[in-house]
Chain A
Amino acid sequence: MRLILATAALAALAACSGANNASTSKNTTTTTTAVTAAPSPAPPGQVVKIGIDLPLSGGDASVGISTEQGALLAIDQAQKNMPHGYTLQGEALDDSVQGVHNPEQGVSNVRSFISDAAVLAVVGPYNSNVARAEIPVTNAAGLAQIGPSVVADNLTIGPDAAQLRRTNPSMNTFFRVCTTDSRQGSALAQFARSLGFKRTYIIDDNETYGLDLADRFEKDFTADGGTVLARDHLAKNTQDFKSLLLKVLAAKPDVVFFGGVTSTGGGLIRKQMFSVGLGKTAYMGGDGLADLGTVAAAQADGSYYTLAAPNAQKLPAARAFVKTYRAKYNADIGPYSANAYAAAQVAANAIIRAIGSSKGAIPARAAVVANVAATKLETPIGPISFDKYGDVTNPVLSLYGFKNGQPYFIRQIQLKL
């Protein structure tokens, strides 16, 4: 089955790069001149690219590859909307070195995108630390970057974010289609209280996403009148969380909150809750647990997670996306496939509009940034538009539960900003 998947991915890649391969190398030079010189109509077969920077090998591949595939699918589908004479390509670079996501490699990848004049926008990265290293570079270069999954608050707002833009303070080039830790953490706290949970035991995976999310949840859950019994973090490179869960068992919580993703321990914790006798206790986390069912199957029942999107079952775009993704890759979507799809959709859409307003000439990168900032688009994760910091406006967060290992929608809230 994986073989089919690999072949499908391969065939798809071959198909999209095959048609215009011959012109790729030749046209790079043309592109350079077109950007610097006055607008002139693009020659037929002009290639423009969306760079994709994600961790694709080693341990991080577990989430990186399904995210990449989401973005590639969107780029593939955007092809039919490209103005005449243009071909849109996705160019994915791996930011893992020796199997660990690496901020330095991320910067290196982004710099190589910057030096390729055909690259008009970047989708990525996956990890907040990588984003923190890359944003100053894309900011200095004025290249639009759209993050599918990086949720740390201080990437867009606050003094830290201002520091990231210090080279080019007047320009914001970083956008994200995902939510932020503070939004999701406080939505989760509200949901948890509305489900009647009073006592929680909080565990995080000691990675940026999980730690920050759990911090925020802890703060808001307490403020809402809940009790946080204890807080714990996971070790790296281990499969055994039973000794941690024995502590949880002794504390008798109503709900175990997990900050992190399924592959960093979220899935194993749920399964091991059953073996220490916590099977009946509720389990809750953020969008990183969206794929919990694939690991925990029916043991996922009794778990809850949020998605930063309106009810997916009611969004036609979401249903279509899940179906097409399945058909193309012969696999279920990963936790951030839809986000990456939306991010690439935003990028492609901005490029198309920028080409439109430059009357068919290759647009400047700044024009693409402006078009991304002005985005109004329907995506599988709902309608997307950005505020001046690059965060999505009007955030809607939905609560999901599991029944027979399958997620079902419970309710949604609109956060007030």
Chain B
Amino acid sequence: MHEFLAQLVNGISLGGIYALIALGYTMVYGIIGLINFAHGDVYTLGSFFALTILTALGVSGELHGVALVVDVAIALIGAALLCGIVGVLIERLAYRRLRNAPRLAPLITAIGISFILENVMQIWKGPAPVSFPAVVPNPSVMVAGVAIGAQQFLLVGLAVVMMVALQLFIHNTRLGRAMRATAEDRDAAQLMGININRTIMLTFLIGSALAGVAGFVSGVYYQSTWFFNGFGAGLKAFTAAVLGGIGNIAGAMLGGFLIGIIESFATWKFGGQWSNVTVFAILILVLVFRPSGLLGEAVFERA
């Protein structure tokens, strides 16, 4: 039982990262139907930005008190903002021209952008894994005999807060309604006077900023980052989005946590080498028996 709980907690923490990345996948897919393969690399970029900001602030170890709050806030917001800008730039430079092109053209472009980002990061911080400072102290509380660290609370808390905020934004603001309308029917939305370009830009801004948040959080949680991390994490986050029902924000969240938990349990029960096999096998089964994903592919509406 104890080990079960420990694995569950670990799976949820891991899932929090997948969930944050999956949000970006699902939003972009919901609005322009693109599998944005470069999204995983934007996530890695987030950890690189955060690392650079922390280094610039002179942070190299654990922080406490005011410094903790201020420096973490600067790094978190900075990474999110910079990633958001990168996301917008990618959309503007690479995807916008292809909005009416054959459907697979932007997919290949996204793969190309992914390679470019990976190479830029490799040149930037070197080809080997890089150490990330342990900024956030990690005192743990015992819950039913399982130690849960402060970082895990932070990680899962941030993921949930982000999702709720996103949900509120999409349902209660004009811009959010514009996003939903664009996702539903782009031409009709345009006729209703919605600025399509701006709306899509906003989608990329938010999605990429969330990936930036995920990048920061994973840097803190794993205390290391590597230019190639985004490939694996992106692949799994995308499956998470599909598992939950692509285009569905709550679904992305649910899918992310589930993939994290499945991965954790598969490692526990079947051994590490079977964890990916299990994740993808379950994914296939879910899609075969419930093709629209767990929560259905509501386009920004339900949920």
- Closest CB-CB distance, A226 to chain B, in whole Å? 21
The answer for the CA separation of A250 and B2 in the assembled complex, in Å, is 10
Q: Interface majority SS on B: helix, strand, loop or mixed?
A: helix
In the complex, which of the residues A66, A203, A243, A271 contacts B128, with contact meaning CB atoms closer than 8 Å?
A: A66
- Closest CB-CB distance, A201 to chain B, in whole Å? 12
For residues 95 through 145 of chain B, which have their beta carbon under 8 Å from a beta carbon of chain A?
A: 115, 118-119, 122-131, 138
- CB of B128 within 8 A of CB of A291, answer yes
Most buried by A among B126, B129, B264: B129
**Total contacting residues, chain A, CB less than 8 A:** 47
Query: Which B residues are CB-close (under 8 A) to A295?
Result: 128-131, 224
- CB of A246 within 8 A of CB of B10, answer yes
Q: Which residue of chain A has the shortest Cβ distance to B274 in the bound complex?
A: A235
Segment touching A, from B73-81, B197-205, B231-239, B290-298: B231-239
Question: Given contacts A206-B273, A236-B276, A246-B7, are A59 and B131 in contact (CB under 8 A)?
Answer: no
Query: Which B residues are CB-close (under 8 A) to A416?
Result: none
In the complex, which of the residues A2, A62, A241, A246 contacts B228, with contact meaning CB atoms closer than 8 Å?
A: A62
Interface string of B161-204 (1 = CB under 8 A from A): 00000000000000000000000000000000000000000000
B268 within 8 A of A: yes
- CB of A236 within 8 A of CB of B223, answer no
Query: Which B residues are CB-close (under 8 A) to A312?
Result: none
In the complex, which of the residues B223, B267, B268 contacts A235, with contact meaning CB atoms closer than 8 Å?
A: B267
For residues 258 through 287 of chain B, which have their beta carbon under 8 Å from a beta carbon of chain A?
A: 263-265, 267-268, 271-276
A280 within 8 A of B: no
- CB of B232 within 8 A of CB of A239, answer yes
Query: Which A residues are CB-close (under 8 A) to B268?
Result: 243, 246-247
- CB of B127 within 8 A of CB of A65, answer yes
- CB of A268 within 8 A of CB of B222, answer yes
Q: Interface majority SS on A: helix, strand, loop or mixed?
A: helix
Interface string of A281-302 (1 = CB under 8 A from B): 0000000000100111100000
Q: Which residue of chain B has the shortest Cβ distance to A245 in the bound complex?
A: B10
A232 within 8 A of B: yes
A263 within 8 A of B: yes
Q: Which residues of B contact A (CB under 8 A)?
A: 3, 6-7, 10-11, 13-14, 115, 118-119, 122-131, 138, 147, 149, 151, 218, 222-224, 226, 228-229, 231-233, 235-236, 263-265, 267-268, 271-276
- The 23 sampled A-B contact pairs (Cβ below 8 Å) are A2-B123, A2-B126, A62-B127, A62-B128, A62-B226, A66-B128, A99-B118, A99-B228, A99-B231, A203-B272, A206-B273, A232-B271, A235-B267, A237-B233, A240-B222, A240-B264, A242-B13, A246-B7, A268-B129, A272-B222, A275-B138, A295-B224, A297-B131
20 A-B pairs besides A66-B127, A271-B224 with CB distance below 8 A are A61-B127, A62-B226, A99-B228, A232-B271, A234-B272, A235-B275, A237-B231, A237-B236, A238-B232, A242-B10, A243-B11, A243-B265, A246-B3, A262-B129, A263-B128, A263-B129, A267-B224, A275-B138, A295-B224, A331-B126
